[in-house]
Chain A
Amino acid sequence: AQKITQTQPGMFVQEKEAVTLDCTYDTSDQSYGLFWYKQPSSGEMIFLIYQGSYDEQNATEGRYSLNFQKARKSANLVISASQLGDSAMYFCAMSSNFGNEKLTFGTGTRLTIIP
């Protein structure tokens, strides 16, 4: 069985600062995918970034990067130069087989950016 743990229920960060959202995972699979989603107050789930378990480089997408440490089973999301629009719930998720199967989600972190 897969398990995702997000230990930060809420975070407050000053605008323009960088922020790291923690995510650890547990799985016995050799091949898996790790995802981060953003959920604004409006409710939709927005895909941010993906990391495959065999990817040697950390994934980056604009201001988002995924700090993947396989031995430690962690997949932290780093947001550089935070903006007010980054205020939202953030969910870490994983799946088997690089992502074409069902997702297991963490409980989420509510990020609030302070002007």
Chain B
Amino acid sequence: DVKVTQSSRYLVKRTGEKVFLECVQDMDHENMFWYRQDPGLGLRLIYFSYDVKMKEKGDIPEGYSVSREKKERFSLILESASTNQTSMYLCASSDNSAKPQHFGDGTRLSIL
């Protein structure tokens, strides 16, 4: 089974801090994604990556950056956290075929 692991289930940080959310997948998938989930808005794509060192902006990239130095790891970075970035963050991965994305368990991030 595909395993997508997010480093933390719950995280509390302060405004202005630099925050790192880590995601690791164990199935050699080419594609990795970061979404945020907010009530009434569903999941929205922040950034995605089709290959190592490659990244593309999603629908809501402002305030975020990403890093993919190794194929199995995709990091989401909040350069200077703000309260409006309090949310549930979900990482996903997929290969290049008509198969579904596999999701991690999510990180509930609170910015105080």
Chain B residues positioned under 8 Å from A33 (CB to CB) = 98
Binary contact readout A16-51 vs B (1 if CB under 8 angstroms, 0 otherwise): 000000000000000001010100001111010010
- Is the beta-carbon distance between B105 and A44 smaller than 8 angstroms? yes
8 A Cβ contacts from B22-51 to A: 31, 33, 35, 40-45, 48
Residue of B nearest to A48 (CB): B100
- Is the beta-carbon distance between B33 and A102 smaller than 8 angstroms? yes
- Is the beta-carbon distance between B106 and A44 smaller than 8 angstroms? yes
Binary contact readout B74-112 vs A (1 if CB under 8 angstroms, 0 otherwise): 000000000000001010101111111111111010000
**Residues of B within 8 A of A (CB-CB), count:** 29
Chain B residues positioned under 8 Å from A104 (CB to CB) = 45
Cβ contact of A43, chosen from B40, B88, B94, B98, cutoff 8 A: B88
| A98 to B94 Cα, complex, angstroms | 12
- Is the beta-carbon distance between B106 and A100 smaller than 8 angstroms? no
Shortest CB–CB separation between residue B78 and chain A, in angstroms?
A: 20
Residue of B nearest to A44 (CB): B105
| A43 to B6 Cα, complex, angstroms | 12
| A50 to B105 Cα, complex, angstroms | 21
Q: Quick one: given A45-B90, A91-B43, are A103 and B101 in contact (CB under 8 Å)?
A: yes
- The reply to whether the CB of B61 lies closer than 8 angstroms to some CB of chain A is no
Shortest CB–CB separation between residue B49 and chain A, in angstroms?
A: 11
Q: Quick one: given A44-B106, A100-B31, A100-B95, are A35 and B43 in contact (CB under 8 Å)?
A: no
| A4 to B2 Cα, complex, angstroms | 27
Q: Quick one: given A43-B105, A44-B105, are A99 and B100 in contact (CB under 8 Å)?
A: yes
| A66 to B44 Cα, complex, angstroms | 23
Chain B residues positioned under 8 Å from A9 (CB to CB) = 40
Chain A residues positioned under 8 Å from B100 (CB to CB) = 35, 37, 47, 50, 99
| A42 to B102 Cα, complex, angstroms | 16
Residue of B nearest to A31 (CB): B98
Residue of B nearest to A42 (CB): B105
Q: Which 6 A-B pairs have the closest CB atoms?
A: A45-B103, A98-B98, A47-B100, A105-B42, A105-B43, A107-B42
